Amino acid sequence: MDLLERLREIGALKDGHFLLASGRHSAHYVEKFDLLRQPGPTSEACGEIARRFAGDRLDVVVGPTTGGVLIAFETARLLGVVAGYAERSADGEPGREFRRGTRFEPGARVLVVDDILTTGGSIRETLAALGRHPVEVVGIAVLVDRSGGRAGFDLRLEAIARLDIPTWEPADCPLCEGGVPLVKPGTTVPPIGA
């Protein structure tokens, strides 16, 4: 499966001037929900994750909220195992936790999945939440790794697609300097400064 080509076909790989969640700016953006709204392409991508981990005797597939929930569910379904979801901590503290009756058998073999890997923060929080349970983390899988290899994990990392997209601090952004309107993805408001 050529996930990047599929993302282009459905309009999920966008060009422009984007304000990322990290506060940095980019000329490209992957709108994961343009993919995740479509069951067929999402299932294809999760099928590739399942294929890559089919021989690993997994017991559970977990993902962080929000986008990781859909990826975890579909990958778990394809592998015939259960899914779990690492939610933001209920007490408002930083980090994630497993709630809503999620339990792990001692020694459970777990795969962590997510949609887009940029800094690795959501995955690190998910791994920290798993660290409070008697499990073995087998690996990590993401739909798109846009970290350029900078996220760095001491676990097997499988990415269905890789993008090395340059980002800039606002003060160093050539798009700002060129007067290109800044858009905050996920909002319906006009470009920032418009």
- Known binding-site residues for orotate equal 118, 146
Which residue, 126, 121, 61, 135, is CA-closest to 89?
Answer: 126
The tokens for 102 are 């999620």
Non-local CB neighbours of 49 within 8 Å, separated by 6+ positions: 71, 75, 111, 113, 141, 143, 158, 160
Distance CA 60, CA 105 (A): 10
Give the dihedral of Cα atoms 49, 50, 56, 61; nearest 10 deg: 90
Distance CA 76, CA 80 (A): 6
Distance CA 25, CA 16 (A): 10
For the annotated binding site, the residues are 114-122, 146
For the annotated binding site for 5-phospho-alpha-D-ribose 1-diphosphate, the residues are 114-122
